[in-house]
Every structure is written in structure tokens, then in C-alpha cells.
Amino acid sequence: MSATLFAGLLLAQSAYFVAPTTIEKVDVAYEAMAQGRTDAAISQLQAQEHADAATLINLGSAYARKGMRAEALECFNAAMAADRYELQLADGSWMDSRRAARVAAARLERAGTLAAR
């Protein structure tokens, strides 16, 4: 339950990569995740050619929903090491991608600690 709650809060809605002359919006399986289609989201995210921070955060969130903690943490750690940019979260707010990944990892760790008690 708590893994689903934090995943929904940190789920990236969209990611925008800004180059000098273009803005590219990347599909990060937000709709599938928002509709609870976790397996479809995982398939879609794993098929991405470029594993940017938003893709990694959403993939980690999908893994967390499935109880795959180690895989989720691996994705969040990779997102912390990826290129930094602002991404839009499920609640409409904007956050630095590395900060979002740190928050997601910390919540995953806290959820695991609480579940172990």
C-alpha cells in the first residue's frame, strides 16, 4: 500500500529535453501507470531506447508497485546519476530529476523499514 502511495506521488508526468533549437517531450508511460496498468508500463519503459531520469523513476515506481524493491532501488540510483533536468510530477508540480529520484529511493527504504517491523 505505501509503495503504491509514494509511487503515485513521485510518478513523472512528462519530461522535457531542451536543446538549443528544439523541445522534445518523452513518453514515460504516465497514462499506463495512472490507470494501474503496471505491467504495460514496465514493458513500455523497458522498451525505451534512452533511459533518462524520468523513464528510470517511473520504471522504479512500477517495480515498487510490484514489490520488486531491489529493481526499483536500482532504477532510482541510476536516475540520480543520469542527466539532471526538471520534470513534472503526477501532482502537477515540478522537481529536479535527481531530487525526485532521491526522494523516491528514501521513501522506498522507509516503506521497507516500516514493513519489517
pLDDT computed for residue 24 by the predictor: 60
**Its pTM surpasses 0.85:** no
Give pLDDT < 70 ranges for the chain: 1-25, 113-117
Q: What is the pLDDT of residues 89-100, one digit of tens each?
A: 888 899 999 999
pLDDT computed for residue 101 by the predictor: 96
The 94-96 sheet, strands edge to edge:
23-26, 12-18, 86-89, 94-96
Cβ burial 50-82 (10 Å sphere, 16+ → b, else e)? eebbbbbbbbbbbbbbeebbebbbbbbebbbeb
Question: What is the residue extent of each domain of the chain?
Answer: 2-116
pLDDT computed for residue 3 by the predictor: 40
2-116: CATH number = 1.25.40
